[in-house]
Each structure stands twice: as structure tokens, then as C-alpha cells.
Amino acid sequence: MIRLLSTLLIGVSSGAIYSLMALALVLVWRSTRVVNFAQAGQAILSTYIGYEVLTHVNNFWIALLVATIAGACVGALVDVLLIRRLARVSGASANVRPVIATLGLLGLISSGVGLIWGNDLKRIATPVGTHGYTFGHTTIPFSPFNLLIVATAALVMAIFALIFQRTNLGLALRASAFAPETARLAGVRVDRTRTIGWAFAGAAGAVAGLMITPQSALAPNSMDLLLVLGFVAAVIGGLDSLIGAGIGGLILGIGLALILEYVSTSLAFPAAFIVLIIVLLIRPQGLLGKLRGRDA
């Protein structure tokens, strides 16, 4: 019983990070209809910036704050300097070009980061303990740091939910995503609003990047797996739904944790991709998505 419970908790903790990455991908997808491969690169860059801050001030919270702001700025810049320009190009491959560009940007950031910080593994210390909680004589793998991850992700999700559902900015963001032409005719500056969406995505990705790093290590391509798992979570949730991203991440995290614990460590990641393909085949709209196009 404790084993199952602790597996579930670990699943929630890693799922929370996948949720944040999925959230970043969904925010961009629904505002701009771009699959943003560069999200991994953006998260790498912001995490290195967080790492740099840590080496100077040695305070995780300040590093997290700086990394999040940096992530938001990088996200906004990617939209303004790259995506917005590519969106103006029309033609047969107009929809593909921004996506390919994000792939190029991912490569560029990864190699650029390698040039600046080197390709060796960097470590980031946790602000709270990583030793699992103990119940009676049993110590479970779930640690205060895991709890911190879950709390941080929940906080980020709650802030986004509040912004999107309760504020004028959220209304503009949703309108720009679902009905850009109607939004423009209502006076919303859709381009600027989209850039804010990219900034939010960058911030969410930055939190994911900095929170996942203490448990592994930082290297120029250490977010690649996180990107892929973020995609799987986003697809499970339906790509268009912020709540879906949250739930998709949790389902994926818990599923992977169960397989790792009860089946086999070598099966967990293949299982993630099998889930991805099955979802795409039998429920392409995801668990919460609608089949109908939303980009009318």
C-alpha cells in the first residue's frame, strides 16, 4: 500500500513538470498554431541563466525568479523576431516554415549554450531536502523537493487559470487564440496579445526547466526528453486545453511511475510513446479537446 502510494506521489511530482512543459507548448499552439520545438532550447537557456544566478547569489528562489523572467523575455523575443515575421510569408509551405524555424532555433540555442557554458554536466542544488519522507520504518522516495515541485506547478497553474478566466488580459488571450479575426474587429491587438502568450509559455517552460534539473543535471541538450514528454502530455490533454495540459501531464507522470515501479525500468519510455501513438490514432482530439477545428 505504501509502495503504491509513494509511486503515485512520485508520478504526480514528475507529472507536474510534464504539465508545465505541456502548458508551455499548448499556450503557443493555441495562440499561434505553431508546434514550438524551440521550447526545449528556451528552457535550456533560462535554466543556464538560473544556474549562473545560483553561482553568484546561491539562492534558489532568486534563481527561479530570474530564470522565469528570462524565459518569458526569450519567449517574447522568439515570437517578435522570428515567428511573427514568418507568419507574414504566405505560400504553399507557410504553415510548416515556423515549425521548421523552431527546430533550427532549438539547435542554435543548444549549441550556443554549449559555447558559453561548455558541454559538461552542471549541477543545481535543491533548496529543500531530497531525502524521502519517512513513515514509521519506511522511507519513501517522495521528498520535500518533490513536494516543492508539485506546489510550484500547482501555483503556476493556478496563476494561469486566474489570468485566463478572470482578467481582461485572459479574455484577450483566449479571443486571440480562438477567433483572431473577431478579436481584431473588437479592437484587440492580436499580435501583441500573442507575444504575451509566448512570454507566458516561456515562463512556464522556464519553471519546468529549473525544477527538473536538480534531480538530474544540466547540459545543452538535457531538456530534449522533457520536450518530448511535454508533447505527449499536451497531446493526451488535447493540445488546445490548458486544463488538458495539466491533466495530461499528471496522467503521463503517474503512468510512467507505475510502469517504472511495477513493470520494468526499460519499458517506461517506450510506453510513453506507445501512449502517444495510441492517443493520436484513437482519440486525436485528446481527452479534453474537441475534434472540431478551433482556429476559425
Partner 1 sequence: MSGLVVKELNVSHGAVEAIRGLSFTVAPGSLTAIIGANGAGKTTLLRALSGLKKAQSGSAFWNELSLLGAKPEGLVRAGVVHVADGKSVIPEFTVEENLDLGGLWRSDKKDVVLAKTEILQLFPALATRLKQHAATLSGGERQMVAIGRALMSRPKLLLLDEPSLGLAPKVIASIFDSLNELRKEFGLTIVLVEQNAVSALRVADNGVVINLGELVTAGPASQILSDPALRAAYLGV
Whether the CA torsion 50, 140, 268, 271 is positive or negative: it is negative
Q: Does 85 bind partner 1 (CB under 8 A)?
A: no
Give the cell for residue 133. 519522507
Chosen residue from 97, 122, 184, 283 binding partner 1 by CB under 8 A: 184
* Residue number with CB closer to partner 1 (69 or 175): 175
Q: Does 291 bind partner 1 (CB under 8 A)?
A: no
Q: Does 58 bind partner 1 (CB under 8 A)?
A: no
Smallest distance from the beta carbon of 208 to partner 1, in angstroms? 27
Give the cell for residue 291. 475534434
| Cα-trace Rg, the chain | 19
Say how many residues touch partner 1, by CB under 8 A: 18
Determine whether 229 is exposed, middle or buried from the number of CB atoms within 10 Å of its CB (0-12, 13-18, 19+). Answer: buried
Smallest distance from the beta carbon of 181 to partner 1, in angstroms? 7
**Which residue type does 138 have?**
T
Q: Does 178 bind partner 1 (CB under 8 A)?
A: yes
Q: Return the closest-CA partner of residue 13 out of 254, 207, 244, 225.
A: 254
What mask of x and - would describe binding to partner 1 in positions 185 to 204, judged by CB under 8 A?
xxxxxx--------------
Give the cell for residue 13. 511530482
What mask of x and - would describe binding to partner 1 in positions 141 to 170, judged by CB under 8 A?
---------------------------x--
> Where do we find the cell 524551440?
38
Task: Tell me, rounded to whole angstroms, the distance of Cα 183 from its chain centroid.
Answer: 27
Smallest distance from the beta carbon of 188 to partner 1, in angstroms? 6
Which residue ranges make up the site for partner 1 (CB under 8 A)? 168, 171-172, 174-175, 178-179, 181-190, 296
